[in-house]
C-alpha cells in the first residue's frame, strides 16, 4: 500500500493546522459531519490524527476516540495536548503501521465513524485495500468521512505540475513536484471503484460553501462513504 513520504504528510498537517478562517471553517464543518453521523457518544476512529486537534474536539463532546497516525512525532504532540483525555480513556492511541491501528480497534470494538481529515487519503496510492481493511471495523450503517484534495481545483490547474501528471493519472496517480511524489490524485470515479463492495459513495461536496464556481473553487472535497450491511 504505497504512501507518499512522511515529509509530505507533515506538510499537509502543518497546512491543516493553520488558523486561517477558511481552514477553520472547513475543519468545523468536517467535525460536525463526523459527529452527526456518529450520534451521541458514538465511537470514532481519527485516521491520520496528526497532533490531535480533531481527536480532542471529539473527545470533549463525549465520543470515544481511537487516534491513529503513522508519525511518532505527531503523536507525541497529541499526548501533550490530550493528556487528560488519554488518562480518562476517552482517547486511545495507535502509532506506526496499520497493525498498531488494528490492535487498538480490536481492543475497543467497532466504531460508528472513521474520520480522515485534511487529505490523509491522498497519501495512499491504492485506496481499495485500505478501505477493505477499514470497513471491517465499522458498525453496520457506519461511514467513512474524508477530506480529499480536489483534483479539479481551478487554481491548481494553472500550475505546470498539474498538467504534467493530469493525462496519465485521470483516475488516480502520483502528483509530483520537483521530481518527488507529494500525494496521489483521486477522482470520484476512482474512489467509487475502490469503495466497493463494502462502501458506497454517499456524498461528494465542496469543503468551501458559497463560492462562485462551486467545486472548482474548493481546494478540498468532503467525501462520505457509507458502509454496506
114, 178 Cβ separation under 8 angstroms: no
- Residues 176-197 have a mean pLDDT of 79
134/115 Cα distance (integer angstroms): 11
pTM for the structure as a whole = 0.82
pLDDT tens, position by position, 198-222:
999 999 988 766 555 556 667 789 9
pLDDT band at 167 (very low <50, low <70, confident <90, very high): low
13 pLDDT higher than 50:
no
Burial classification of residue 57, based on how many CB atoms lie within 10 Å of its CB (0-12 exposed, 13-18 middle, 19 or more buried): middle
Domain locations in the chain as residue ranges: 6-150+187-227
Beta-carbon contacts of 32 under 8 Å, excluding residues fewer than 6 positions away, are none
For residue 57, the model assigns a pLDDT of 98
pLDDT tens, position by position, 83-134:
999 999 999 999 999 999 999 999 999 999 999 998 999 999 899 999 999 9
6-150+187-227 belongs to which homologous superfamily?
A: Vaccinia Virus protein VP39 (3.40.50.150)
127/1 Cα distance (integer angstroms): 8
Amino acid at each position: 500500500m504505497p504512501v507518499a513520504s512522511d515529509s509530505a504528510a507533515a506538510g499537509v498537517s502543518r497546512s491543516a493546522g493553520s488558523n486561517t478562517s477558511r481552514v477553520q471553517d472547513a475543519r468545523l464543518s468536517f467535525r460536525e459531519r463526523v459527529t452527526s453521523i456518529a450520534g451521541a457518544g458514538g465511537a470514532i476512529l481519527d485516521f491520520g490524527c496528526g497532533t490531535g486537534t480533531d481527536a480532542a474536539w471529539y473527545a470533549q463532546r463525549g465520543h470515544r476516540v481511537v487516534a491513529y497516525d503513522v508519525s511518532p512525532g505527531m503523536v507525541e504532540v497529541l499526548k501533550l495536548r490530550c493528556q487528560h483525555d488519554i488518562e480518562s480513556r476517552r482517547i486511545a492511541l495507535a502509532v506506526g503501521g496499520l497493525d498498531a491501528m488494528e490492535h487498538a480497534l480490536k481492543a475497543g470494538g467497532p466504531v460508528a465513524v472513521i474520520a480522515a481529515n485534511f487529505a490523509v487519503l491522498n497519501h495512499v496510492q491504492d485506496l481499495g485495500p485500505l478501505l477493505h481493511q477499514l470497513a471491517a471495523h465499522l458498525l453496520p450503517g457506519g461511514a467513512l468521512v474524508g477530506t480529499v484534495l480536489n483534483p479539479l481545483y481551478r487554481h491548481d490547474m494553472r500550475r505546470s505540475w498539474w498538467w504534467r501528471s493530469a493525462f496519465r493519472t485521470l483516475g488516480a496517480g502520483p502528483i509530483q513536484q520537483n521530481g518527488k511524489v507529494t500525494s496521489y490524485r483521486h477522482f470520484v470515479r476512482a474512489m467509487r471503484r475502490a469503495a466497493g463492495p463494502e462502501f458506497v459513495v454517499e456524498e461528494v461536496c465542496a469543503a468551501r460553501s458559497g463560492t462562485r464556481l462551486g467545486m472548482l473553487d474548493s481546494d478540498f472535497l468532503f467525501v462520505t462513504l457509507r458502509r454496506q450491511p
